[in-house]
A and B are shown apart, each in its own frame.
Chain A
Amino acid sequence: AQSVTQPDIHITVSEGASLELRCNYSYGATPYLFWYVQSPGQGLQLLLKYFSGDTLVQGIKGFEAEFKRSQSSFNLRKPSVHWSDAAEYFCAVGPSFGNEKLTFGTGTRLTIIP
């Protein structure tokens, strides 16, 4: 069964500092991988996705993520965070074909301090 682990429940970074949010997945084949962001009181918005090809993917709002098959990881990064990046971030994994279910991680809450 597929699973996703986001080991950090809460991360605090200073505005302008770099950010890396960790995501590890478990899936037997090549997965589809996603990062979503949820601002308070809002739905989830897709930041970026990996289906195949280049293992470094660029997303919206200056985010990027790197797929590392050997480490079963898909970490999200941003070189310089802005106060507006404060939100909850979810990693998700899905099969490359067949059942369309996505499995979401438990989320990482990001707090930005001035």
Chain B
Amino acid sequence: DAGVIQSPRHEVTEMGQEVTLRCKPISGHNSLFWYRQTMMRGLELLIYFNNNVPIDDSGMPEDRFSAKMPNASFSTLKIQPSEPRDSAVYFCASSFSASGGTLIWEQYFGPGTRLTVT
């Protein structure tokens, strides 16, 4: 299996620009998670989907952030407009959950996207 695939691996953009991060989960997994990692705040869950439906977005910082999962094999995290404080490593992870999310298994992480906003 190819594992979780994220693109791009590195993104440098200027403040105010739109940024789109992409994720392809492991085939057969039905839950997808977006995390942000910074030195100051550690690893934070932003949002997660189960069967393509957003279940918990309480970690999304503000309206500038949005996430979509149009199908089981693709998700995007968009920041518009971007700000320097959004600079971080963004991870996507996927897992398989059974019984409508009542039984969970381990999450598999992608390599991350390092975002720098200048």
* Interfacial residues, chain A to chain B (CB-CB below 8 A): 32, 34, 36, 42-46, 49, 90, 94-95, 97-102, 104-107
From A49, A100, A102, give the contact of B55 (CB < 8 A).
A100
Provide the main secondary structure of the chain A interface. Answer: loop
| B91 contacts the other chain (CB 8 A) | yes
**Is the beta-carbon distance between B91 and A43 smaller than 8 angstroms?**
yes
Q: Tell me how many residue pairs across A and B have CB atoms closer than 8 Å.
A: 51
Query: Which chain B residues lie closer than 8 Å to A98 at the CB level?
Result: 101-102
Residues facing A in B21-41 (CB within 8 A) are 31, 33
User: Do A100 and B109 form a contact, CB below 8 Å, given A44-B91, A106-B42, A107-B42?
Assistant: no
**Is the beta-carbon distance between A97 and B103 smaller than 8 angstroms?**
yes
Closest residue to B58 on the A side, CB-wise? A101
Closest residue to B42 on the A side, CB-wise? A106
User: Do A97 and B102 form a contact, CB below 8 Å, given A43-B111, A46-B108, A102-B107?
Assistant: yes
Closest residue to B103 on the A side, CB-wise? A97
**Is the beta-carbon distance between A101 and B56 smaller than 8 angstroms?**
yes
Give Cα distance in the complex from A95 to B55, angstroms.
15
User: Do A101 and B111 form a contact, CB below 8 Å, given A43-B91, A94-B104, A107-B42?
Assistant: no
Give Cα distance in the complex from A54 to B73, angstroms.
35
Closest residue to B101 on the A side, CB-wise? A100
